A and B are shown apart, each in its own frame.
Chain A
Amino acid sequence: MPKTGLHRLALALLASCSVTAVSVSAHAQSKVVVTLAYGSEYVFDTNDFAKKWYDNVKAAFDKKYPEAEVKLVPIPGGYTDIINKLSLLYRSRSTAPDVAQLPTPALGQFQSSGWLLPLDDELATASWWTEFPSAIQSEGRFDGKVYAVSTGENDSQLYYNKAMFKQAGLPEDWHPKTWDDILTAARAIKAKVPGVVPLWLNVGTSSGDNGLLQGTGNLLNGSSDPTIQDASGKWVVDSKGLREVLTFVKTMYNEDLGDSLSDLFSPSAVTVPLTLFQKGKLAIAVGSNYYGGNWTKTICSPCWAEAPQTIGVVAIPTVSGQAPGIATTLGGWDLAVAATTKHKDYAWKLLDVMEEEQSQIDAANWAGFVPAAQSYTKSPAFVDFAPPYNAVSAEVLPYGKLTPAKAEYEVWSHALQQATGNLAQHKDMTVDKAISDMKGYVANQLGSDQVATR
């Protein structure tokens, strides 16, 4: 009895193997397949828009190059899930995606793994490449070669409720010049407009790197000393700039000018201001450029038709108004080609299709990006999508600074996130203690010879 059973099982296995083999080989002979890996839930404003954009890209490519086709590899989950999944896909030749969408802060690590292909030869032929500001071109440049190109950027601005400002005796056309101006406005709101959160600033570790990029990272870039990693490669854990940022956080939360801890430490903290503004519960926010688009009817996350009349937007100032007067972080998403790709020419063609004007403007509008190419940012299709917000996001983009593209940056980032979270949670904690905790943490994880004081 067992013998015949085994026999049958073996035959069945063999049959299914041969059928699959035949179908696979038949499929492979027909078209060149270019795989494209991307975040399907996290990057775009809604999953439907992500699907729409990638389906459009696939349709455009398949139509232009009938001898090839795109195989979409969606990656669900959040920011870290995308990085982890891509890291695992790249480890094996058969799964390495020909083209992949990578987050800007992780580019250096992907490149140093040896997984990405230099694109300088092909870029020389691309007209859109020449329109990228040099800071954005440098995003993907390592050891003199370009390994990844931007497919959209994020930066930060100050958003404020004009009606609440009027009620508090503040100007409706607000132009803060220093960080003190921001605190003064928040204090006025607290005094004259009860029942609302005066100022939103991301703190704590729940949003990871993104929290820093959309929150205190902007302040650090506008401080007296924005250095994160000094010339010798050491990580700065005590500097005038860091102390200015932490003092701002401590002052703000000690005077109860910020939101509750449960909102700040929630996993979806970065999107809290969108809803708070819409419900009329927030006066000022240090926010990201995608807010305006989210409120439009097209994206509707949440829908707020009255947003442009109610919420003003202005650039974040530097700490004491020093040049250049505007502060913002810079980071977004980039496209790269796998070093082990078997279809270098088609991978580049796909990348080129994704960087065309219509694709880039659709991506900007549906994912809340600012397009990298200067002429795209001036196109009415982009500017008029979410007036007046998109115009300001395009204006502050050139002032953005990139974060160091090293794996150790994650440790430094986690330490700073913890410092801001602690200062917000424990009102009796001093800035000195927060700094010394940050120094202790980074020294413990990376080695005491890797930290620097300025």
Chain B
Amino acid sequence: MSQARKRVDGIGLLLLAPAGVLLAVLFLLPVAYAFYLGLTNASLIGVHAQHYWFTGGANLRRLWQDRTFWHSLWLTAVFLFGSSILGVTVIGMALALLMQHASIFWQRLAGAVAILAWMLPPVTAAMVWYAFSTTGGTLSLLTGGHTDPLDSHPMLIVILANVWATAGFSMMVLGAGLRGISSEVREAARMENASRIQTFVFVTLPLMRRTLVTNLLLVTLIILANYALTYIMTAGGPNDATNILPIYAYQQGFTFSNLGYGALVGDVLVLIATAFAYLYVRALRQD
């Protein structure tokens, strides 16, 4: 009995080996190297371009005292909360609910438009939103004509753009979750004279718990990775108003040439993403 188990384990490991090697070489090793680089004084150009070395805790001390970093961390929290929790989950849920009760034609059309927005490359989406929110654009005309929504409320506009680009994905995931709830449960609630809202809050939402958590975590990771949309619209400005962590890491590494320090800021991002990914895996396992 034990011998048979051993053989299975051996072959299993062998079959997993290529994936394991790819994972190690393309992911684990580079991330480990990034953590090492984060503690060196490597620079893109300058005296430490060719000759750099491990500087121990110097970069960590610098990070601790870096006001722009803490501001960037706060901005990232606001950005993620606004985009994924408020924006995508709420809007995705609304879309999914509306889709449930609409005719097939509208279901298909709305679905196609939402997914098209999600599939657009970040450059295209950024250009659309830039044109929409700058002076003379549609949003500007709707709010008086001479306003400049992009520069007066940059974080809000950037959050809206990210919500617009990701809501389609959320709609699909939450829609599938909704369809998984049998209509008998809803009928039972109606027979108990529950109002629509009561049905939604006390019946639908609890049954959707797992899907909601999955969606939330996935969307957070997607938005965290898609910094290109924000960067193209504002490049972190004006006056660092949208200087989220990925943009700050890029600025440190490629505008100020501090590759080592920029890598450290990027490492913080990796840790945040890892925390979210861990929560996601745990949420999946709980059932």
Interface residues of A (CB under 8 A from B): 80, 83-84, 87, 90-91, 106, 109-110, 112-115, 204-206, 208, 260-263, 265-267, 407, 410-411, 414, 418, 421-422, 425, 440-441, 444-445
Do A109 and B46 touch across chains, with their CB atoms under 8 A apart? yes
How many chain B residues touch A (Cβ–Cβ < 8 Å)?
27
For B239, give its contact among A115, A263, A410, A422 (CB under 8 Å).
Answer: A422
Q: Which residues of B contact A421 (CB under 8 A)?
A: 237-239
How far is the CB of B202 from the nearest CB of chain A, in Å? 48
Q: Is the interface of B mostly helix, strand, loop or mixed?
A: loop
Residues of A within 8 A of B47 (CB): 112-113
- Residue of B150, B151, B257 near A109 (CB, 8 A) is B257
Which residues does chain B contribute within 8 Å of A444, judged by CB atoms? 65-68
Q: Flag B134-157 by CB within 8 Å of A: 1 or 0 each.
A: 111000000000001011000000
Chain A residue nearest to B50 in the complex (CB): A114
Nearest Cβ distance between residue A186 and chain B, in whole angstroms? 20
What's the Cα separation between A261 and B239 when bound, in Å?
Answer: 13
With A112-B46, A113-B46, A261-B135 in contact, do A425 and B239 touch (Cβ < 8 Å)? yes
Nearest CB in chain A: distance from B81 CB, A: 26
Instruction: Write out the residue numbers on chain A whose beta carbons fall within 8 Å of the beta carbon of B45.
Output: 83, 87, 106, 109-110, 112-113, 407
Give the interface of B toward A (CB within 8 A): 43-47, 49-51, 65-68, 134-136, 148, 150-151, 235, 237-240, 254-257
CA A441 to CA B240, docked complex, whole Å: 11
Min distance, Cβ A41 to any Cβ of chain B, angstroms: 16
Give the nearest-CB partner of A86 in chain B: B45
Q: Given A80-B254, A407-B256 in contact, is the A262-B46 Cβ separation under 8 Å?
A: no
- Contact status B67-A265, CB under 8 Å: no
Instruction: Please tell me if the beta carbons of A113 and B68 are within 8 angstroms of each other in the complex.
Output: no
| Most chain B CB inside 10 Å of its own CB: which residue of A112, A407, A444 | A407
Q: How many A-B residue pairs have CB under 8 A?
A: 86
A410's contact among B136, B150, B237, B255, by CB below 8 Å, is which? B255
Name which of A91, A114, A260, A262 has the most chain B CB atoms within 10 A of its CB: A262
Q: Can you sample 16 A-B contacts with CB below 8 Å? A: A80-B255, A87-B257, A109-B46, A110-B45, A113-B46, A113-B50, A204-B237, A261-B148, A262-B134, A265-B151, A265-B237, A407-B45, A414-B256, A421-B239, A441-B68, A445-B66
A contact residues around B65 at 8 Å (CB): 444
Which residue of chain B has its CB nearest to the CB of A443?
B67
Closest 7 pairs between A and B when the two form their complex, measured CB to CB: A262-B135, A113-B49, A109-B45, A262-B134, A407-B46, A407-B257, A87-B44
Contacts of A425 in B (CB 8 A): 151, 238-239
A90 to B257, CA, bound (A): 14
Bound form: Cα–Cα A261–B241 in Å: 15
A116 to B133, CA, bound (A): 45
Cα of A407 to Cα of B46 in the assembled complex, Å: 7
Whether B148 pairs with A418 at a CB distance below 8 angstroms is: no
Instruction: Enumerate chain A residues within 8 angstroms of B51, measured Cβ to Cβ.
Output: 114
* CA gap between A262 and B151 in the complex, in Å: 7
Contact B148 A205 (CB under 8 A): no
A260/B49 in contact, CB under 8 A: no
Q: Are A204 and B238 in contact (CB under 8 A)?
A: yes
